[in-house]
Amino acid sequence: MQSNADTLTLYTEHFPPYSYEQNKQVTGLNTELVRRSCELAKITCEFQLLPWLRAYEAAQKDHASGLFSTSRNSLREHLFQWIGPLAHSNAKMYWLKSRAEQAPRSLDEAKQFIVAVARGDIYELYLQSQGFEVDVNLLRFNSKSDAVLPFLHGKVDLLIASELILPVWLGQYQHSADAVEPVIDLSQVGHNYLALHLAVPPETVARLQAALDVLRSNGEFQQLSDHFLKPPH
Which segment of 8-12, 20-24, 39-43, 226-230 scores lowest on mean pLDDT?
226-230
Q: What percent of the chain has pLDDT over 90?
A: 79
Q: Which of 60, 168, 53, 169 lies closest to 122 in space, CA to CA? A: 53
Over residues 101-123, mean pLDDT? 95
- C-alpha span between 115 and 159 (Å, rounded): 6
Q: 14 and 143 in contact (C-beta within 8 Å)?
A: yes
Query: Can you tell me the distance from the alpha carbon of 142 to that of 46, in angstroms, rounded to the nearest whole number?
Result: 23
pLDDT value, residue 5: 56
How far apart, in Å, are the Cα atoms of 67 and each of 19, 25, 83, 172?
A: 11, 17, 10, 26
Backbone angles phi, psi at 37, to 5 degrees: -65, -40
Residue 231 in this model has a pLDDT that exceeds 90: no
Task: Give the C-alpha separation, 198 to 114, whole Å.
Answer: 35
Amino acid in position 113: F
Write down the pLDDT at residue 180: 97
Question: What is the reported pLDDT for 102?
Answer: 96
Whether the predicted pLDDT of 139 surpasses 90: yes
pLDDT digits (tens, 9 = 90+) for 34-67: 999 999 999 999 999 999 989 999 999 999 999 9
Summary mean pLDDT of the chain = 93
Query: What is the pTM for the complete model shown?
Result: 0.80
